Amino acid sequence: MKLTQAHDVTLPTGVLGLAVAADGRQAFVACADGLIYAVNPISGEVESFEERHQSFASGCVLLPDGRTLISSGYDGMLLWHDTSTRACWRRIRAHNFWSWRTALSPDGARLASVTGQYLPGGWKYEPSAEVEPSVKIFDTATGELVSAFSHTPPVLSCAFSPDGSHLAAGNMMGDVCVWNVHGAQAASETEVGVSRWNSPDFTSWGSTKTHHYCGGIYCLAFSPDGRSILGCGMGPMQDPMAGNGKMTWQRWDWRTGDKLGEILDGERGAGLMEALAWHPRGDYFAMAGRQAQGNWNAGIFSAVSGNLADSFDSKNRITQTRFAPDGTSLLVGAAEGQPRRNAGVWGAWGRVQVYRVSD
């Protein structure tokens, strides 16, 4: 599988969230200025929505009807927007801290949002206990809180299974927990989940300079057949301030936590990987993020062998990837460095890029 860049759209600020319409011809992005933008990735037309988050807009999901977009932000809010009028018509406080990541159930009926702040809880710098449930699920029709689950904060990623029956969430310590979100649940299952496991390859303890943990599982994605789950992030390093831990992905049997595969040492560089996307056929997946060392920050991997099939260095930080529903293109949301002022005007540093996919 090969990727060839076809379109490159510039936005005022860095892209943190990305949703793609069912026909693949329109994208919606959540940006660092708190605004949501509608983007035509072919023509390059960009239009902002009316209401912004009071901090970074961290994510957005598009409901199946195409008329409603729900955005999340570091202000802890969820905003419901009309995609035709660009107006916001519902506001819900989801968390007292950031919404790190959101996920939409396949039927569009449920929205999951995860939160949590890393604060040292003891002399070993282990994370403090959560002060609110780190994982919450909301009804997209009413905005009501449906479920809340405990996890070790900060929880950085979440994903629904293809049938919508289970939700997985991963944190900074490399812990993944999976819950059954359908029907009645026993109290014990609500607390501990269906399965839970830890991978030390997704966290770092600073043994030099500043002592703290960093890294984590920044994205989770169930395989299209629902049998396994992928996680990506950044692996161990001595100096967390350097941001040069190993680029990594692992694949697990989500019912047992058994590892089924991982990135090969000869195919990885250093940096934070924070975006995953399965090709609709299920035979390839994309991983992307920010590179510190190496020669690529976005790659396509075979789901059968785990080998790197193609890669490129976009020279920016890729935060989101989505395959078009027909699998013929890969859309990328990114932030290009930090903004600079020229004659008193801040430069644009957001990107939506489209890559053609060929076998």
Whole-angstrom CA distances from 119 to 179, 213, 244, 319 are 25, 10, 22, 24
For residue 237, the model assigns a pLDDT of 84
Cα–chain-centroid distance for residue 217?
Answer: 9
For residue 240, the model assigns a pLDDT of 76
Dihedral sign for Cα 199, 167, 30, 350, please: positive
Q: Give the total number of structural domains in the chain.
A: 1
Output the six-digit token pair for 156. Answer: 């950085």
For residue 246, the model assigns a pLDDT of 92
Please write the tens of the pLDDT for every residue from 227-248. 999 999 998 888 877 778 899 9
From first CA to last CA, the distance across the chain in angstroms is 4
The pLDDT of residue 184 is above 50: no
Q: What is the mean pLDDT of residues 320-341?
A: 91
More confident residue, 329 or 182: 329
Residue found under tokens 């030099």: 208
Please report which confidence band the pLDDT of residue 213 belongs to, taking 50, 70 and 90 as the band edges.
confident
**Within a 13 Å sphere around the CA of 328, how many CA atoms are in the beta-carbon half?**
5
Q: How many CB atoms lie within 10 A of CB 257?
A: 16
Task: For residue 183, count CB atoms less than 10 angstroms from its CB and return exposed for 0-12, middle for 13-18, buried for 19 or more.
Answer: exposed
Which residues make Cβ contacts (< 8 Å) with residue 122, sequence separation at least 6? none
- Taking the whole predicted model, whether its pTM rises above 0.85 is answered as yes
Q: How many CB atoms lie within 10 A of CB 96?
A: 10
Query: How far is it between the farthest Cα atoms of the chain?
Result: 62
For residue 191, the model assigns a pLDDT of 52
Asked if the bond preceding 106 is cis, omega within 30° of 0, the reply is no
H helices of 278-337, in order, are: none
> Would you state the torsion angle of the CA atoms of residues 315, 4, 31, 80, taken in this order, to the nearest 10 degrees?
-160
Tell me if residue 302 falls in helix, strand or coil: strand
Residue 37 to residue 225: CA distance in whole angstroms: 32
User: 243 and 235 in contact (C-beta within 8 Å)?
Assistant: no
Residue 168 to residue 162: CA distance in whole angstroms: 12
Looking up residue 21, the CATH number of its domain turns out to be 2.130.10.10
User: 247 and 273 in contact (C-beta within 8 Å)?
Assistant: yes
Lowest mean pLDDT among 14-18, 126-130, 284-288: 126-130
**Within a 13 Å sphere around the CA of 295, how many CA atoms are in the beta-carbon half?**
5
Q: What is the mean pLDDT of residues 74-99?
A: 98
Q: How many CB atoms lie within 10 A of CB 51?
A: 17
Domain residues for 282? 2-341+348-358
Please write the tens of the pLDDT for every residue from 10-54. 999 999 999 999 988 899 999 999 999 999 999 999 999 999 999
Residue 63 to residue 65: CA distance in whole angstroms: 6
User: 351 and 9 in contact (C-beta within 8 Å)?
Assistant: yes
Residue 29 to residue 11: CA distance in whole angstroms: 9
Which residue type sits at 82? D
DSSP secondary structure letter of residue 44: -
For residue 24, the model assigns a pLDDT of 87
Please report which confidence band the pLDDT of residue 264 belongs to, taking 50, 70 and 90 as the band edges.
very high
Please write the tens of the pLDDT for every residue from 162-180. 999 999 999 999 999 999 9
Bridge-based pairing state of the strands 350-358 and 2-11: antiparallel
Please report which confidence band the pLDDT of residue 307 belongs to, taking 50, 70 and 90 as the band edges.
very high
